[in-house]
A and B are shown apart, each in its own frame.
Chain A
Amino acid sequence: MSRKNRVSEHIHRDVSEFLIEEADLLDAGQLREWLDLLTDDVTYRMPVRVTVDREAEPAEDGGYTHFNDDRHTLGMRVERLHTKFAWAEEPRSRTRHFVSNIRVEPGEGNGEVRVKSNLLLYRTRGDSPRHDLLSAERHDVLRQVNGSWKLAQRTILLDQSTVGTHNLAVFL
């Protein structure tokens, strides 16, 4: 990211605060509130990563994903977790989203910025001291809607081709 492509300090601060508040909602299990941070046309994707020769990179597989969601399907995921029958998260996992290395550029659309961030997601279940650790780079588009920032696009590039947790019942 070149210096000239940077956004103003206050936008950078706003975006950082947005991502940190978002992580707080996810870790606190306030998922309906998390949904309010998304635009109606949000896309939420996590491509399958695949190990290929250096020259054949990027090693994002164009065809298949771990998440390929829109506002409706994300809404269904969240509502499911509120049914009391979503055994994968009943009781809830403990998660901690560590967000860092936030990089912000002007976006293409009106009121949009492009944001890259690093994510470390720590997860435990029940009384087991064993933890799962997922590391990823997130490529987001944030958009200002009526004066508030909303997440309009997220692509999660996991740093694993074989995912090291037993399910993705949590959001990254």
Chain B
Amino acid sequence: MIHAGWRAEALVDDTHNALEQGLLPASILSDPDIYELEKERIFGRAWVFLAHESEIANPGDYVVRYIVDDSFIVVRDDNGQVQVLFNSCRHRGMQVCRTEKGRGATFVCPYHGWTYRNDGQLIGVPHEKQIYDDEELNKEDIRLISLPRVESHEGWIFGNLDPGAPSLPEYLGDLRWYLRLYTHKSDAGLEVIGTPQRWVVLANWKLGASNFIGDGYHTSTTHLSTVHTGQIVGRPDFLLDGVQVTAGIGGLGFRRLPKELASTRGFPSHIMDSLRRNAPEQVRIVEDGLFPSHGTVFPNLSFLPAASVLKPGDPPVPYFTLRLWRPISPVEIEIWSWFLIERDAPPQLKEASHKALVISFGSSGMLEQDDTENWSSITRAASGQMARRQYFNYRMGLKHLQPMTDWPGPGTAYPLDYTEANERAFFRTWLDYMSRRPSDNGER
């Protein structure tokens, strides 16, 4: 394992000191040594989202997913088990799967023809009997390398490169309580429609993740245009009146809406009825008029339910998206955007929700267009010598905003979504991972 240089360690120390005062060094958004350290200490240890179970519903179904640079085949094997296999032949390393999705019983290496069953077991080696002695090659002993840890939460499949990582429930912690608001609107659960959008942006991965966890403030300027055109109903500062919650490995924000709207948001009543059954404590928050909105699971999975007007005068149509900020380099990400909806939503709602999401978030989304413009511009500004002198101001709510005492859920809740509490929490978690040397948790 490569240890990034002293400069990265010094920058991490600097970030420690700065964050205590609510400041963040710009360089951590572009520094190559920081990036090397992140790959090892964050993406080598944290639970990273791979796929939703509905994407691989049947035996043999697979999708190819990434943890930073590594390609994995996420496949439901013939016994119905989810396997996450390193996409590299054990003979010469050729990628045995070069499609993005499909269905198959085997993966065949194009180089010498080694053939693997969809649970990763080597089952075929051309000319085996003529060329190999039993002592040289025993197929039984050879499998595609499995990702050390794979666990699923409510159908969301995560993987972890660290064999010693805490369990996924332990990792998610109190955030699990809130995720029920997103995953349990219907007894039938969520399903992914189609294949996620992928596109590249010249921006650091932390900008997307930290925006979604707690930057309610940007909406009134960044997304002002969508209020002017009537796509978003309400005032430009629609997230000011809300609640921000730091919980477990992430956090989220709630937007206050008229009570009736918060609890239906365009969904048929049976869907809210199932939320009442499945999340009886959580649903009280929604019935009080707080609509669960943006959030992030550290390090790089964000989620967002919202609603968009499709036609002037019509009520907003709800949508839900999961998005992954996959690091490509210190200054480049590939964004993955999934469209999910309750399996038992009426077909017309599914079609309308698809439209609502596409015009709002994703590659052409009218809100996300402006986000990517901001994040790439920030990354450029953070890439030079002056970044060493630039400390971003993350002080909103640092001194005076007190946590709520009457909040019904776990974690720490603040009575405004315009606070930077969650963003500070995100970077504290970042520091926690970045400060732990490999030996601290028994790694080599």
Binding site for B on A (CB under 8 A): 46, 48, 50-53, 56, 61-70, 72-73, 76-77, 79-80, 83, 85-89, 161-169
Which of A51, A67, A88 contacts B370, CB < 8 Å? Answer: A88
Do the beta carbons of A48 and B196 come within 8 Å of each other? Answer: yes
Do the beta carbons of B355 and A68 come within 8 Å of each other? Answer: yes
Do the beta carbons of A86 and B355 come within 8 Å of each other? Answer: no
Which segment, of B179-187, B249-257, B358-366, faces chain A?
B358-366
Which of A46, A64, A164, A167 contacts B194, CB < 8 Å? Answer: A64
Q: Which residues in chain B, 38-75, are within 8 Å of chain A measured between CB atoms?
A: none
Note all chain A residues with C-beta closer than 8 A to B339.
63-64
14 of the cross-chain contacts (CB-CB < 8 Å) are A50-B195, A63-B193, A65-B194, A65-B358, A68-B358, A73-B311, A85-B225, A87-B222, A88-B370, A163-B200, A166-B202, A166-B372, A167-B201, A169-B369
Note all chain B residues with C-beta closer than 8 A to A83.
224-225, 228-229
Do the beta carbons of A80 and B229 come within 8 Å of each other? Answer: yes
Q: Does B310 contact A (CB under 8 A)?
A: yes
Closest to B193 in A: A63
Q: Does B174 contact A (CB under 8 A)?
A: no
**Cross-chain pair count, CB within 8 angstroms:** 131
CA distance A66 to B199 in the complex (A): 10
Which of A48, A50, A53, A80 contacts B366, CB < 8 Å? Answer: A80
Which of A51, A70, A169 contacts B99, CB < 8 Å? Answer: A51
Do the beta carbons of B222 and A66 come within 8 Å of each other? Answer: no
Q: Does B83 contact A (CB under 8 A)?
A: no
Closest to A55 in B: B102
Note all chain A residues with C-beta closer than 8 A to B231.
76, 80
Which 10 A-B pairs rank lowest in CB-CB distance, beginning with the nearest? A63-B194, A64-B194, A168-B364, A88-B369, A163-B199, A85-B225, A167-B369, A162-B198, A83-B225, A72-B311
A55 to chain B, nearest CB (A): 10
Note all chain A residues with C-beta closer than 8 A to B224.
83, 85
Given contacts A50-B100, A51-B100, A53-B102, are A161 and B198 in contact (CB under 8 A)? yes
Which of B195, B203, B370 contacts A61, CB < 8 Å? Answer: B195
Binding site for A on B (CB under 8 A): 98-102, 193-203, 221-222, 224-226, 228-231, 309-312, 334, 339, 354-355, 358-359, 362-364, 366, 368-370, 372-374, 376
Which of A63, A166, A168 contacts B195, CB < 8 Å? Answer: A63
Main secondary structure of the interface of A (DSSP, over half): mixed
B308 to chain A, nearest CB (A): 9
Closest to B362 in A: A66
Do the beta carbons of A64 and B193 come within 8 Å of each other? Answer: yes
Main secondary structure of the interface of B (DSSP, over half): mixed
CA distance A42 to B4 in the complex (A): 54
Note all chain A residues with C-beta closer than 8 A to B312.
72
Do the beta carbons of B359 and A167 come within 8 Å of each other? Answer: no
Which of A51, A53, A56, A163 contacts B197, CB < 8 Å? Answer: A163
A133 to chain B, nearest CB (A): 13
Note all chain B residues with C-beta closer than 8 A to A167.
199, 201, 363-364, 368-369, 372-373
A129 to chain B, nearest CB (A): 14
Closest to A74 in B: B359
CA distance A167 to B374 in the complex (A): 12
Do the beta carbons of B373 and A87 come within 8 Å of each other? Answer: yes
Do the beta carbons of A69 and B355 come within 8 Å of each other? Answer: yes
Closest to A71 in B: B311
Which of A48, A86, A162 contacts B334, CB < 8 Å? Answer: A162
Closest to A130 in B: B202
Closest to A164 in B: B200
Note all chain A residues with C-beta closer than 8 A to B363.
66, 163, 167-168
CA distance A163 to B309 in the complex (A): 26
CA distance A46 to B355 in the complex (A): 12
Note all chain A residues with C-beta closer than 8 A to B200.
162-166
Apart from A48-B197, A66-B358, A166-B202: 17 A-B pairs, beta carbons within 8 A: A48-B194, A64-B197, A67-B364, A68-B355, A72-B311, A76-B230, A76-B231, A88-B370, A162-B199, A163-B200, A164-B200, A165-B199, A166-B201, A167-B363, A167-B373, A168-B364, A169-B369
Note all chain A residues with C-beta closer than 8 A to B202.
166
Given contacts A87-B222, A165-B199, A168-B369, are A73 and B364 in contact (CB under 8 A)? no
Note all chain B residues with C-beta closer than 8 A to A161.
100, 198
Note all chain A residues with C-beta closer than 8 A to B99.
51-53
Note all chain A residues with C-beta closer than 8 A to B201.
166-167
Note all chain A residues with C-beta closer than 8 A to B364.
46, 66-67, 167-169
Do the beta carbons of A86 and B370 come within 8 Å of each other? Answer: yes
CA distance A27 to B388 in the complex (A): 39
